[in-house]
Structure 1
Amino acid sequence: MKITLMHAPAPREVVEDVLDIPEGTTLGEALQQAGWLQRFPDIQSGSLATGIWGRKAGWDWVLREGDRVEVVRGLRVDPKVARRERFKGQGARATGLFAKRRPGSKAGY
């Protein structure tokens, strides 16, 4: 059965491998077979998380045909905090749903 391994070791850099594995292979075994545990030692240290199609999955997860295994880095900044900071920098008049109002129109149009 075929699965896809995905990892972004750095911003704007993606590593993708398609792997042919036997039925009943676990996520950890697939990473071992692909050589990713040696290639990316951070996977074993626990600083990177693993998942299948965007959902968290452990090393003992049994893979199925067509699964996409993702090895992801943690977020450096909380997205909510980042959005608040961007909003502060832009100011209230240049952002939001009604930023491009027609001149002389009522609020909300």
Structure 2
Amino acid sequence: MEHATDSIEIEVTYALPHRQFLERFFVPIGTTIEQAIVLSGVTTLFSEIDLTTQKFGIFNKIAKPGTLLQNGDRVEIYRPLLLDPKEKRRKRVAEKSKKSG
């Protein structure tokens, strides 16, 4: 599909354990991450997304909401961690120690 040279194609994605959102569409050059998220409609489908506190990224690298997008970028909306990875490891080690001790 051809589009004007003043637009770029991007993706916005958000994933939950049992439900995913992926929208590929064209936006004007100069569109920011935050604008793309709003344009994608993901915040309408997932009311838990808070643009003031949510972390975002492009291809698994954290980026600020005002970051300008480039052609082919995939905007990712990250969910908050339920448990700190270090704490999770500590719990796993403690459980193994109880079982073997």
- Fold match, TM over 0.5? yes
Q: Please indicate the TM-score interval, normalised by the length of the shorter structure.
A: 0.7 to 0.9
Paired AA for residue 72 in structure 2: G
Instruction: Give the drift of 1:75.
Output: 0.6
Match 1:86 to one of 88, 92, 97: 92
Return the alpha-carbon distance in structure 2 between the equivalents of residues 7 and 80 of structure 1: 24
User: What is the number of equivalent residue pairs in this alignment?
Assistant: 92
Task: Name stretches of at least 5 consecutive residues in structure 1 with no aligned partner.
Answer: 95-109
Judge conservation of contact 2:31–2:69 (CA < 8 Å) in 1: yes
Larger gyration radius, structure 1 or structure 2: 1
Match runs of 1:1-109 below 5 Å: 1-8=8-15, 10-44=16-50, 46-91=52-97
Name the TM-score, length of structure 2 as normaliser: 0.74
Q: Deviations over 1:10-56 (max 9, x none)?
A: 32432111122222111122122212232233334534221112222
Structure having the higher strand fraction is: 2
The one-letter amino acid of 1:62's match is L
CA-based RMSD of the aligned residues comes to: 2.2
Percent of residue pairs bearing the same amino acid type:
30
Gap runs ≥5 in structure 2: 1-7
In structure 1, the residue matched to 2:3 is none
Of 62-71 and 18-27, the range deviating more from structure 2: 18-27
- Cα distance change of structure 1 residues 81 and 33 upon mapping to structure 2, 3 Å threshold: same
Secondary structure in structure 1 of the residue aligned to 2:77: strand
